[in-house]
Structure 1
Amino acid sequence: MKKTLFLALLSVILFSCKNENNIKNVERAFYYWKTSDSRLQEQADSILKTTNTKKLYVKFFEVEHNELMGNIPFSKNRMNIYDTIIEIVPTVFIKNEVFLKSSFNELDLLADNINFLINKYRTEDFEKGIVVKEFQMDCDWTIKSKDKYFYFLKKLKSISSKEISCTLRLYPYKYREKMGIPPVDKVTLMCYNLLNPLESPKQNSILDIEELSKYLSGTSKYPLHVDIALPIYSWMQLYQNNQFQNVMYNNHEYLIKNMKKIDDLWYEVTEDVQVDENYIRIGDKIKYEQVTKETIEKTIALLKKNIDFDSTTTIALFHLDDAPLQKYTNEEINSIYTSFSK
């Protein structure tokens, strides 16, 4: 009887420890994903200073495949870093078709070119005191592209002399036997864009707790160090005559004044209005998806319950821009980081 009680008590203790799963040292970070020459805006600069955030994942450029020119960079990002930032992680988004259509020799050249361009832009755009110890590759790889993508990652590691990380979507996180474990030093689990927005009219495609739980529950410890990326952005999907037209990222508050709610996530436009380059008419439908503070809190609890974090883990928010940041106070942003340590 005593033995049974002891084992039951031990189980409760172990389960409680698993649920607590606090991160001792949270490295605070943001993604910076703009694609133009720019300086940080006032709200973004204030957030960095108030939250004592010193690390940025900066998208340097993207890579796509061109049938005539091969693999080419585009959407180059140039920015000036404020003095609050100590470390940047050059990040490159690579379209999956690059690996589907490239030979291994072409991937050797791609690794060389990416390493060269990162070092070039780093020298041109950032002060010498900025720390760069990691390159991150962002690609939604598939089973068909897996072998070549993993080959490329190994090649980049060998020539860069840097830590190499990659983004990890929830599908390959859960189905790792099928999708493979990328040959990198660590991964960043992207806890957003869980659903196809055009195929999920009743769900928030940015972040849906039930959908997230399906990928996290019942999974064993991932064999690599796992950092976390969380969304703080919102968007509106415009439908005219029940046909999808466009995604709008800005000026939401202006449009909200001219629409009425008709269902969960759905609104109807009540006045003709122009938002940026979009001409919106009475009767048009809007699906408004945003990530609330409450949703973030539930997400953090779910992550802490299901992931064995290392003592030092980076928590990165997507992304650093005045438009999404206006929906959060500095204290709310700060609490996202601190919640992982409580």
Structure 2
Amino acid sequence: MKKVLLFLPLILLLFSCDNKVESVEKSFYYWKSDSDSYYNDKEKSILKEQNIKKLYVKFFEVDYQEELGNLPVSKTNFNIYSYCSENDSLPYRIVPTVYIKNIVFQKSSEKELDKLADNVSYLIDKFTNEKLDSIRVSEIQIDCDWTASTKNNYFYFLKKLKPISKKQISATLRLYPYKYPDKMGVPPVDKVTLMCYNLINPLEDQSKNSILDLKELESYLKPKKKYPLHMDVALPVYSWMQIYQNNNFSGVIYNSNGLKKNLKVIKPLWYEVTKDTVVSYNTYLRRGDKIKYEEITADKVNKAIAIIKKNISLDKNITVTLFHLDENELNNYTHEEISSFYSDFTK
């Protein structure tokens, strides 16, 4: 009995270290569309300071229209020469990322999905040749909020895409399909990225932060559950303000720095506009309008990381991706805080 007791601490130590993350590949999502502002020196500086070597770049989205069927929209403005001089090599590995709306899989037949797989692969290659100077791309990520009713079509598309593209395929994974793989299925891909944000429909629960509510996050995680595929992690580093005029939702403000001076607190998360304010050429706040300010702080992100580490069995080597690369949002964090969003996983 004494020998068993002597070895018990060693056994517990070995068990506790078995799932410890040893290294983190640092990454960002680049989610700007062609109508957004271009990449700038501040963002380039952040990438260099954080030693970022990987970027998930949204190349385009796929939507569905009754008249036209499936079509690409919201193409990116990303260009290789925004990141390096003409004679230098790109210092980042680029992962083309495509967001496909769930309606595409609600409306498409298998024949149409065959065509979609061809078109997605073709457009990624075309964009890579035109704007990325034909750099080598080894991975494609597909982003979709699939449901139980669209699972079969979505998985069919993923299976078709891999041999056509001849690339590694990854997929985003929301918390609901993570928690219920028996119901939602496990996507037929090489790996997944768990999206630890946008947990709640922003218009359904007015008392919670829909981007990241810590109790909501924890409710989806089962202690030390091991997902069948390699799983990376994505975290939010953005905030937004939801505008309510005459008690009706009317839009969202990103990059809301400087607006709080014209707001007064009325209850947790909620503010009232105290002064007529021009936000942009098409957004105007009137005195009395209500604002739900869903803010993501460094402390909230660090607490989310602690919850993830406590409840998820991760591989020894993972990629941690922050959403997303935007100067105005990242100005809310210090260099040390951004660095901690990566390094905390190995502590």
Q: TM-score, normalised by structure 1?
A: 0.94
Post-superposition shift, 1:12?
Answer: 4.9
Say yes or no: does 1:268 pair with 2:272.
yes
Post-superposition shift, 1:68?
Answer: 2.0
CA displacement 1:152-187 (0-9 Å, x = unmatched): 000001111100011000000000000000000000
Q: Contact conserved, 1:234 with 1:249, CA < 8 A, in 2?
A: yes
Aligned residue in 2 for 1:68: 67
Q: Contact conserved, 1:237 with 1:246, CA < 8 A, in 2?
A: yes
Q: Contact conserved, 1:236 with 1:249, CA < 8 A, in 2?
A: yes
Aligned residue in 1 for 2:174: 169
Question: Map of 1:1-342 to 2, 5 A cutoff?
Answer: 2=2, 5=5, 9=9, 12-13=12-13, 16-17=16-17, 21-36=19-34, 39-81=38-80, 82-83=83-84, 85-128=91-134, 130-218=135-223, 220-250=225-255, 252-276=256-280, 277-342=282-347
* 2:159 partner letter: K
Post-superposition shift, 1:15?
Answer: 6.6
- 5+ residue gaps, structure 1, are none
Distance in 2 between residues matched to 1:93 and 1:266, nearest whole Å:
31
* 1:282 partner letter: R
Q: Contact conserved, 2:223 with 2:310, CA < 8 A, in 1?
A: no
- 5+ residue gaps, structure 2, are 85-89
Q: Contact conserved, 1:43 with 1:326, CA < 8 A, in 2?
A: no
Moved over 3 A (4+): 1-18
* 1:29 partner letter: S
Post-superposition shift, 1:112?
Answer: 0.3
CA displacement 1:260-315 (0-9 Å, x = unmatched): 11211111111111111222111111110111111111111111122222222110
Q: TM-score, normalised by structure 2?
A: 0.92
Aligned in 2, Cα 1:236/1:124: closer, same or farther, shift over 3 Å? Answer: same
CA displacement 1:39-79 (0-9 Å, x = unmatched): 41222111100001011100111111122222111111122
Aligned residue in 1 for 2:87: none
Report how many aligned residue pairs link the two structures.
338
**Superposed CA RMSD:** 1.8
Local SS of the residue matching 2:258: helix
Local SS of the residue matching 2:314: coil
Local SS of the residue matching 2:264: strand
Aligned in 2, Cα 1:196/1:15: closer, same or farther, shift over 3 Å? Answer: farther
Post-superposition shift, 1:217?
Answer: 2.6
* 1:317 partner letter: L
Q: Contact conserved, 1:237 with 1:288, CA < 8 A, in 2?
A: yes
Q: Contact conserved, 1:174 with 1:219, CA < 8 A, in 2?
A: no
Percent identity, aligned pairs only, is 58
Aligned in 2, Cα 1:273/1:16: closer, same or farther, shift over 3 Å? Answer: same
Distance in 1 between residues matched to 2:21 and 2:5, nearest whole Å:
31
Local SS of the residue matching 1:183: coil
CA displacement 1:76-115 (0-9 Å, x = unmatched): 1122231363201100110111111111011000000000
